Structure 1
Amino acid sequence: MADERPNTLPPLDEKGFPYDTNWVSILQFFVTESDQAEFERDMESMYELAKKQPGYIWAHYGRSMIDGRWFVISEWESYDEMKAWEHEPTHDQLGDAWKPRYDHGRDMQNRKLIPWYRPDKPRKAWTK
């Protein structure tokens, strides 16, 4: 039996994004072995700073068990708040300082996503 509910997208704002939606940021960094300890210290300080930013919901970071790759995954209440964090002065300066230190030929990778939540299910405690 066919679903009788209309299959329409939510209304979009002037940027083409759905109104009132959270955003997830996924970052991948390739850090040389000699820089791992310093990178981890900087990650922890940025994690603590991110938690104080408007729109912050949650974040996790960690190192791959396979190589020197690090991941940061964070969720924000809006696109604008996520972008404001990217350009927060301390965060911006530290990011610029690390760019030349990433593993040669394997610079930072960055993805932005809109999470999908089942409308008939409550969100898990770590999302909101």
Structure 2
Amino acid sequence: MRVSWIVLAGIALAYAVWTALGPAGRWSLGCRKMPDATCDIPMYHAVGVWPLVVIGAVLAGPPALAALASATRVSWLMLGALVVVAFLGLVNWSEFWGSLLFAIPLLVMSFVVTLLQMVFAQYDTGRTD
């Protein structure tokens, strides 16, 4: 299951890079309000690099921690963290922080991986009731 978590973290990082390289108008409804920015410049130029690094870390961090721990209880905690991240994206949907809404599909995929992790853990211990 560790490979699944690493793949999810990689998908999250790829999304963060895609967000950073995309035009500011794609991710921010208020892009015209940003100082010295237009909607056609890359997002990393409009808001700087660090907010986008934070987006990548917040989206890829929970799956990476689940991969390191490889424990079901950590996977459930990671799901809770992704719920919080998705909520933050929902609250800020009109700004570039709305790109945190990518946590929702990540949450769905992570839920499936967590359930499979539970099933495999029960199978490994011989409890298949």
The alignment's TM-score, normalised by the length of structure 1, stands at 0.31
The answer to which structure, 1 or 2, has the higher relative contact order (CA under 8 A, 6+ apart) is 1
- Structure with a larger share of its residues in helix: 2
Instruction: Tell me which protein shows more strand as a share of its residues.
Output: 1
